[in-house]
Structure 1
Amino acid sequence: MRLTDHCKEEEEILYRVFEITKQTMSKFESCTGISQARLDILHELFDVEEISQRELQKRVRIDHAAVTRHLKQLEEKGMVVRRKNPDDNRFTFVSLSAEGKSKIVAYCAEKKRFISNVMADFSEEERKALMGMLSRIKENVEKITN
């Protein structure tokens, strides 16, 4: 007997949301070749010539250590370029390399294909209803105080 067999319906719903999230993140990366966090970083860099690492971190809403780790790995793959601010080397500027600019187009196409597969067989009405329900769950979670 599974643990979820003992859970109330509401607990089962949240459990499924959690499981879907974990599975989707893993499958997304397998299918697209990049994590959603790194794709978010590349998207932000695509829209600007150059940005400070601190500002990039704020825009993608990822903690400092994670952004640094992602950028280091993207830099090793030749997709981003980082340089110290010549006036204050405590600050780092980040930009998308030519390789990064060409790859982001392919990543976006793969993401689009992935989303189409995930949402296959959902009608427009079902998608709107699901979006409304997920938005309400998100709002309820945001209202929770520690």
Structure 2
Amino acid sequence: MNSPASDQERILFLLKELCNQFGPKFERNTNMSLSRFELLHQLYQEDEVNQSSLQKSVNIDNAAVTRHLKQLESQGMVTRRRNPSDHRETFVSLTKEGREQILSCSTEKRCFVNQMLQDFSPEELDTLTDMLMRIQQNISRY
């Protein structure tokens, strides 16, 4: 006979299920993956950034960032250029179309987040944020 999962195991499985649901539903609502949104959002904050700094700030592996940026560049949302004094370094910036896309997507993202967190009080949101940050810190120390 199987024993019931502990509360801690239940939390682990709930978090896993949330991760499995979150990405596809976010993408369906915004027409953009969360990774791409995060890249564009980060670029929106700065005029131009080198690709390795961008990769570190969004915490996505280098190959995935390169793949995303190539696709975004082919869609006209970002431009990339080599540093003339160090050809190993690539600078990335948003195009006008990229800026418009992130603004449009931000509205859809807000609607998604509002729906996801409806019926939570401000105090509950503060507590949830604190708990998730503690989980993140615990995992990073593991």
Q: Deviations over 1:20-54 (max 9, x none)?
A: 12201111111111122111211221122222112
Task: Specify whether residues 107 and 55 from structure 1 end up closer, same or farther in structure 2 by C-alpha distance, changes over 3 A only.
Answer: same
Residue 120 (str. 1) matches residue 118 (str. 2): yes
Task: Provide the secondary structure at the position in 2 that maps to 1:62.
Answer: coil
Task: Provide the secondary structure at the position in 1 that maps to 2:119.
Answer: coil
Task: Specify whether residues 93 and 13 from structure 1 end up closer, same or farther in structure 2 by C-alpha distance, changes over 3 A only.
Answer: same
> 1:9, 1:81 → 2: CA distance?
48
Gaps of 5+ in 2: none
> 1:115, 1:138 → 2: CA distance?
20
Gaps of 5+ in 1: none
Tell me the amino acid that sits aligned with residue 91 of structure 1. Answer: E
The 5 Å alignment of 1:1-146 reads: 6-144=4-142
Moved over 6 A (4+): none
Q: What's the CA shift for 1:140?
A: 2.5
> 2:123, 2:47 → 1: CA distance?
40
> 1:51, 1:21 → 2: CA distance?
29
> 1:123, 1:101 → 2: CA distance?
32
User: Identical aligned pairs, as a percentage?
Assistant: 45
Task: Specify whether residues 68 and 117 from structure 1 end up closer, same or farther in structure 2 by C-alpha distance, changes over 3 A only.
Answer: same
Tell me the amino acid that sits aligned with residue 108 of structure 1. Answer: S
Task: Provide the secondary structure at the position in 2 that maps to 1:120.
Answer: coil
TM-score calculated relative to the size of structure 1: 0.87
